[in-house]
Amino acid sequence: MTTYTCVDCSLFGDNCGKCTAAGCVTCGEKEIIGSHGKCASCSEVFGTGCDICSQTKCEKPKSGYFIFGSMAKECKDLFGERCSECDMTKGCTMCSGEGYHVFGGFCKNCSEVFGDGCDECSSETKNCTKIKDDITDKKLVNGVVADVQETFGEGCQEWTYSKDECKTADNGYFISGGLAISCSALRSAELQRKCNNPTRSRSVAFVKREDCNSDEVKVEFKGVEQCILCNQAIPNCSKCGLDGSNIICSSCADGYVLYGGVCKACEKIHGESCDKCSVTECSERTCGDGNVNVLGQCQKCDTVFSQCSSCSLENNCTQCEDGFVPDNEGGCITCQSKHGDGCSTCTADKCDSCTAEACAKCEEGKQVIISDGKIICDTCSKLSAKCTNCTSTECTACESGMAVDSGECKSCSELFDKCGKCDSDKCSECSEKEGWILTDNGCYKPDEPSPSSGVTPSSSHQSKPIVPSSSSSHKKGSKAGMIVGIVIGVLAAVAIIAIAIYCVVTSGPKHGKIDSGIYEEDPHFTSMSVL
């Protein structure tokens, strides 16, 4: 008679509506079936910000979060503390706090983008619209706050903002095109010697440049015209020209951007490792190990991917921290989740190779075993049902009424005839005690052949039960071989007896005589040796 036991579905979670003995089948709203068949909320599995999910990923994030891979990430973790709404492809779409705007997918204030001293700015026109009132040594140039040295050159001593020109230059500089230019730019050694005192006279660069290259501009010094390189007039400028009588830069060298009429390093505006940029955002950045480029900003891998030490946006997380391994969604999951409870360190393919003795950290009641090519922490029953003790590869002990055969648990009745209790080598107890005779190889009734001798117990030639070898030849599969051996033995015995009888008959009185109890050999008789 089959006995059924009712399982309370609440064992698998308060919201489990339907279940089997193995786990929940139907969980509540915003829940999935998690490990061990228990119901788990979307926020437990895919991050605090996950509102609705499927079994494999977060489908809808809460406000202030976005979906990255399978997880829900908080906007401020990637796009700045002031980011309140965001999208992975666009970055931040809305900022909180006065004075913060979205620039290049990140929340920044006006001074961060357009220079220290910018009081008001526009994310639409992407420029500073008002400089702070107390700023006297800086000015708005092409929408950014630029200081004197940046605007008129390092050698400018006095300037006129209204005319956008330098008035007085330091020693070693001359003024041309409104800028203080180093005397070393002059190609004549004689002119360089003359260019040793500051001058208030304004040397004008001529408009005609037919005889200068595209990376040069013509200047005049003490009545002498000559072409100088653009980057000598404006540092890091690759192409330049004239606006009226002023020299202007039209293009900067790689890694620099036009910023207030001068070329400014992208790293100075947007931080280290920025290789290419505009005024408001970095478009190319080389991030170091353990970092990844997210919309032009270097982010630590463990910020983008939880527990990740090395990553790329193309390949997601490529190396996880100890105790974690990449999952199918590009993030990291624990070794226990990937390879089974108790696995402490692992690779993507398997739990780390180790012996049961050396690889500790398995949970109580479990040990390291190899199953389906994976080294995991589990009970011995994972190797074979009813197994109570094992090595990492095979079972060594089974429940009562069973024994180990080739590393697996089998019932004693499978291994030995009518056997109820046994070990790997022999039967120790019959399944039916009344009227059955026990041998190492199984049990039999008096009127049945013995599992070891093949003859009934009433025969005077009954063999002693044969002790089996360590192989399985003593079990049911070996009976045919035993019977063949017994038949051959009986035939050999009959042959020997027949030969002996023949010898007795042929060696009678006709070949010799007996006198006084002494046998006298007939010389005509030839004896036969029985081999």
Q: Which domain holds residue 144?
A: 137-267
Percent of the chain predicted with pLDDT > 70? 73
Most confident of 180-189, 321-330, 407-416: 407-416
Rounded Cα–Cα distance for residues 425 and 446 (Å): 23
- pLDDT value at position 302? 83
Rounded Cα–Cα distance for residues 393 and 375 (Å): 10
Claim: this prediction has a pTM higher than 0.75 = no
Lowest-pLDDT range, 2-11, 87-96, 241-250, 297-306? 2-11
Statement: residue 190 has pLDDT above 90: no
In-domain check, residue 204: yes
- Express each pLDDT in 139-177 by its tens digit: 788 888 887 777 788 888 887 766 677 888 888 888 877
Confidence of residue 362 (pLDDT cuts 50, 70, 90): low
- Express each pLDDT in 55-64 by its tens digit: 888 899 999 9
Dig out the tokens for 499 from the structure: 């030969």
Residue 43: what are its φ and ψ, rounded to 5°? -70, -25
In-domain check, residue 162: yes
In-domain check, residue 85: no
Statement: residue 495 has pLDDT above 80: no
Q: What DSSP line would sit under 164-209, residue for residue?
A: TEEEEE-TTEEEETTEEEEGGG-S-HHHHHHTTS---S-BPPPS--
Confidence of residue 517 (pLDDT cuts 50, 70, 90): very low
Q: Which residues of 37-59 are buried (b: 16+ CB within 10 A; e: fewer)?
A: bbbbbbbebbbebbbebeeebbe
Statement: residue 256 has pLDDT above 90: yes
Rounded Cα–Cα distance for residues 427 and 365 (Å): 30
* Sign, Cα dihedral of 470, 476, 478, 483: positive
Rounded Cα–Cα distance for residues 217 and 211 (Å): 9
Lowest-pLDDT range, 6-20, 278-292, 325-339, 510-524? 510-524
- pLDDT value at position 47? 86
- pLDDT value at position 503? 56
- Express each pLDDT in 439-463 by its tens digit: 888 888 877 766 654 433 333 333 3
In-domain check, residue 306: no
In-domain check, residue 366: no
Which residues have CB under 8 Å from 295's CB, separation 6+? 79, 91, 104, 105, 106, 281
- pLDDT value at position 520? 38
In-domain check, residue 210: yes
Which residues have CB under 8 Å from 513's CB, separation 6+? 519, 520
CB 400 within 8 A of CB 389: no
In-domain check, residue 263: yes
- pLDDT value at position 294? 79
Lowest-pLDDT range, 97-101, 473-477, 483-487? 473-477
pLDDT averaged over the chain? Answer: 75
Statement: residue 310 has pLDDT above 50: yes
Strand 179-182 and strand 262-265: the pairing is: unpaired
In-domain check, residue 154: yes
Rounded Cα–Cα distance for residues 189 and 339 (Å): 76
- pLDDT value at position 303? 79
- Express each pLDDT in 19-70 by its tens digit: 887 789 999 889 999 877 889 999 988 888 999 999 888 899 999 999 877 7
The total of structural domains in the chain comes to 1
In DSSP terms, which residues pair with 419 in a beta bridge?
430
- Express each pLDDT in 92-131 by its tens digit: 999 998 888 888 888 888 988 888 889 999 888 888 999 8
Q: Which residues of 432-469 are buried (b: 16+ CB within 10 A; e: fewer)?
A: eeeebebbbbbbbeeeebbbbbbeeeeeeeeeebbebe
Q: Give me Rg for the CA atoms of the chain.
A: 48
- pLDDT value at position 61? 93
Confidence of residue 327 (pLDDT cuts 50, 70, 90): confident
Query: DSSP 3-state assignment of 118?
Result: strand
Rounded Cα–Cα distance for residues 249 and 315 (Å): 40
Residue type, 18: K
